[in-house]
Amino acid sequence: MSIPRELSMLSIAAKAGKVASGGFLCEKAIAEGHAYFVIIARDASDNTKKKFRNKCSFYKVDCTEYGSSDELGRCIGKEARTVIAITDAGLSEQVKKKLPGMDR
């Protein structure tokens, strides 16, 4: 199965070491000001979605729901991931441009 075209920049960001994945690391990246953009899988639990939306809102980090946890994990070369934080400003802007509804 291939990576959706919209998420191809995530693979580049991961290879550059500019991605935090999983709940704990993403929370830490957001709270420490390292996260520029957060993607939450559509199949994440309602509790997870609410938790990360609230955290992103509080720390003023853009976030969106997109794809499945399997797709997000595959994009960064890992198992399923429900949350991914991009920790590079330039790469986060590139990912935002590719995602539908995130036009800037």
| Mean pLDDT taken over the chain | 89
Per-residue pLDDT tens over the stretch 59-76: 999 999 988 999 999 989
**Domain locations in the chain as residue ranges:** 5-98
For domain 5-98, the CATH class is: alpha beta
pLDDT, position 3: 64
Instruction: Give residues with Cβ within 8 angstroms of 51, minimum separation 6.
Output: none
Burial class of residue 17 (count of CB atoms within 10 Å of its CB; 0-12, 13-18, 19+)? exposed
Residues (pLDDT < 70) of the chain are 1-4, 101-104
Q: Closest by alpha carbon to 61, among 4, 100, 20, 9?
A: 20
What is the per-residue pLDDT for 96? 87
Q: Residue 103: its pLDDT value, please?
A: 45
